Amino acid sequence: MLAKIHGPMLKLEVLNTAFKGKQFRFKDGLLVGSGPTCQIRAQHQEMQEVHARFYLEALKPMVEIACKEAHLFINGRDVVRSELRHNDELVVGPLKFKVIHENHVSSGNIRIDQLIDNLEKQTDGEIYDFAKEDLFYRTTKEPSLRSNIAFVIPSRDKFIDQAQVFLSRLVKGSGMEEEKSDAFMTCAKELILNAHRHGHKFDETKKITLRYQDRGDRISLVVIDEGPGFDHKSVIDAMKRKDAAQAARERYMAGGFGGLGFKLITQLADELVYNESGNQVTATVLKKSAS
């Protein structure tokens, strides 16, 4: 009988990706994951085949993880299951949702998709210019930016150093363990320098885009350069087969750079993901060491 009960008038609004603004109506048995049985699907390394399940329990709208490998965040907390409430923000793998109860949206209000578009233009999707705006002050004024911010810096030593100081300040306020904080900042430094030295070949006319995100139990940093990329798979495979010094010497003799830095990053990051071309990388570090 429970499956026949119509749930509360809840909708899940997508807050990120190319489907930002799309709405899914809550229903008993709604599945999110990468597999064919899921009504909401996303192909991503962080998404399990069936990642999360929405259901009704005593007429209450609920969500829970669908397997032990999955992580589900409700308003920044890593949970196994939770009741859903208006304005809750969910993170399911790479997807972000906001819970909206239709009774809270009057017909005279601006349409939700228009509101989402406006938010994207103003804050959510904004990429700040680090060279032109004081982001140290802005993150003090707007606390939400301390956990999710994207900015671009000129590919120059001065701004690279300043960006590292800025990231360090964000990490210190995140509750990350000191050892893990050091690991994250080492990864950030190496990846940003790689973008400048190897991606841009020290070309100071190019820019580096950084996306910082506090995801509850972990912090991620995306580093994007304007270079052509590189064969990251071969380099990382070489790190696994050889010692770092040997790999670094071979890359140098072949006219390339790196080796020691790549080895360090692969050891310190809990997750390291490159795009196909190699000019975008996402490094993720857990806030606490595994017990």
pLDDT 10s digits, 80-126: 999 999 889 999 999 999 998 876 544 333 343 443 344 334 334 58
Domain boundary among 64, 87, 118: 118
**For residue 229, is it within any domain?**
yes
Residue 249 pLDDT: 54
Q: Residue 49 sits in a domain of what CATH number?
A: 2.60.200.20
207 and 238 assigned to the same domain: yes
130 and 109 assigned to the same domain: no
What pairing do the DSSP bridges indicate for beta strands 218-224 and 280-286? antiparallel
**For residue 214, is it within any domain?**
yes
Residue numbers of the chain with a pLDDT score lower than 70 = 1-8, 18, 103-125, 235-261, 291
Quick check: 207 and 159 in contact, CB under 8 A?
A: no
Count Cβ atoms within 10 A of the Cβ of residue 290 and give its class: 0-12 exposed, 13-18 middle, 19 or more buried.
exposed
d(CA 272, CA 285): 9
206 and 153 assigned to the same domain: yes
39 and 169 assigned to the same domain: no
Range of the domain at 44: 2-118
DSSP assignment, residue 101?
E
pTM comes to 0.55
Residue 21 pLDDT: 78
Residue 291 pLDDT: 58
76 and 162 assigned to the same domain: no
What the block records as the tokens of 104 is: 């809270």
Q: Can you tell me whether residue 133 is helix, strand or coil?
A: coil
181 and 215 assigned to the same domain: yes
21 and 100 assigned to the same domain: yes
**For residue 226, is it within any domain?**
yes
**For residue 224, is it within any domain?**
yes
Domain boundary among 118, 146, 176: 118
How many distinct structural domains can be found in the chain? 2
Question: Dihedral (C-alpha) 253, 255, 261, 267: value to the nearest 10 degrees?
Answer: -70
**For residue 168, is it within any domain?**
yes
Q: Can you tell me whether residue 95 is helix, strand or coil?
A: strand
**For residue 154, is it within any domain?**
yes
Residue 275 pLDDT: 87
Residue 92 pLDDT: 94
d(CA 194, CA 181): 20
Domain boundary among 65, 86, 118: 118
57 and 157 assigned to the same domain: no
Beta bridge partners of 98: 13, 89
Residue 116 pLDDT: 37
